[in-house]
Structure 1
Amino acid sequence: MEAVTVEKHQEHKEKIRQVISEVGKVVVGQEYMVNRLLVGLFTNGHILLEGVPGLAKTLTISTLAKVLHLDFQRIQFTPDLLPADLVGTMIYNQKDAKFEVKKGPIFANIILADEINRSPAKVQSALLEAMQEKTVTIGETTFKLDKPFLVMATQNPVDQEGTYPLPEAQVDRFMMKVYVNYPTKEQEMEVMRRISNMKFDYTVNQVLTKEDIFDIREQVNRVKISESLEKYIIELVYATRKPLDYKLNDLAQYLQFGASPRASINMNLSSKAIAYMDGRDYVLPEDIKEVALDVMSHRILLNYEAEADNVKPADIVKTILTKVPINK
């Protein structure tokens, strides 16, 4: 890195540490989830969180938005939600005798799409189109969405009542799918004590500005990744498509479709972000391995035989990571 960049890097690394610390004032544990949300923020990638209710997914995202001082909107997805409730609509102004645009809650920097799989496909598609195009059309007018624009969606496991599973092509638009686990006994004890304290202070301090976020994105973009590691990413993704070419005969019987090219792109981006947040200007193989599960698992489609044998996409990715070598 250039001298000025090194100085900036240290400054940003300290601010990132402060962000995590501020969120920790309100949310107990869940450092892994916060880390992945920051990776999405610094690489302009949307994040899908999956876990049972009560694991502080909503609280974590709303707290992070406060620390970043960004415009925040929480949208509760329900079976009767309409696309217009999300993006906005045209309303008739009787005084001026003309139609006016009423913008929906999607016009914010951070969107919390809470329980996204509680709404039918038409609403999901409206959100995912905005995620992809970064624009919204209301009537005959197209509006650009504010920058940064980040969707952090939560969903309950699809085997629960009243859910509409996201189609694979739509899930693929999320940079990462992060599985949120239960807290430890010690963490749950702290959660219980905090919530039962009626005077607990939920206020946090602003740490990063929009300018800081754009600056960090530029710095992350400068992180170096060697050609051998770029090839390693491609090999990992191709192993999900053609497992027999990699002598992964045991996996071939379970794979219906492998990961899409978005897996390669997002593994490259997210590994750079991990390296930057760790204080480096170059990517290590460990950075790629660290993000592989979150980036690839939701992009692999398994068949009924895998379901019968209780094989999960994460199992496939873990096996691939142990079998595919890094060629120098």
Structure 2
Amino acid sequence: MGRRLMKGNEAAVHGALMGGCTHFFGYPITPASEIAQAAAYYFTGAGRTFLQAESEVSVINMLYGAASAGARVMTASSGPGVALMGEGLSYLAGARLPSVVIDMQRAGPGLGNIWPEQSDYNMVVKGGGHGNYANIVLAPASVQEMFDFTRKAFTLADTYRMTVFILSDAYIGQMMEPVTIEGPVLHGERKEWAVYGDAASRKNLISSIYMSPPLQRKHNEDLQETYKRVEREIVDYETYLIDDADIVFVAYGIAARIAHSAIHTLRDKGVKVGLLRPKTLFPLPREIIESIARKGVSLVVVELSSGQMADDIELASKGMAPVSRYLTMGGETPTVAELVQRIEEDFVHGGKK
């Protein structure tokens, strides 16, 4: 408890313990390996369960098994590992089993490299496995938020019976910042639907298979109603200096940190720029995006991908405002100076605005 200096990866483990996580199943992959390493140390010390599996496929199925028995479960990986978990993630969604998964994004496709990217957006926000399902997706932009978001993820997972993703990146996981660890441990309660191996839960059955098409249809419709409820109830975002802005950056994770710094330099030059930072990527804060676009303000998406989130921002803006894409891939990130130069070239000298 108290204030400590730590990496984002370590902060997530402390958040998990404070969030009442009982079981961590993991398999190491850079840049997420410190999460499993810290879990091996802290979970066993706290009397919780840590188990390293032989592969990511085993990991996600261990989450399925323990979650069905009422445990609060989590794992952490990076893009290649999460890709291997795709089938299991779909099964978790189909069986409505709560779980928490951290994805510390790295550059791809393929093995790529270990530097940060945001190219797992579609895989995580759009589901990843087969079928009509969604994950709750939280996007931290600091080490403190790695702790805070992971801590609350288990309550969200239990409330909606969904997988909650912490979608972060290599920089947020590796940087060190002060973290305040406080508040009660958010222990879970007994789940009326889980299988505990006792008389009270004998009637319960965990499955994602419905051999009857009408029953499968009803199950899918019920899932969609849950996702609509999530969109009504947990949208979260941060705005910065948008009230008088002519240009608004839209970014999450490390890209939002860089955009935030660029705003001050641009404002000193007389360019009115603000920031919208989604804290939830599903649900996406569509109403505030539409509200900003309705004013005719230019939206500039700063993203470490080919524009995966930018596609959703364009849809949410409904054509009411121009959407520019400042995109970087391959593990490189734009500098503050580069963002400032792009804005000056496109909007001050280029005349977009």
- Identify the structure with the greater strand proportion: 2
Q: Same fold (TM over 0.5)?
A: no
With the length of structure 1 as denominator, give the TM-score of the two structures.
Answer: 0.36
Q: Compare relative contact order (CA 8 Å, sep 6+) and give the higher one, 1 or 2.
A: 1
Identify the structure with the greater helix proportion.
1
* TM value normalised by structure 2: 0.34
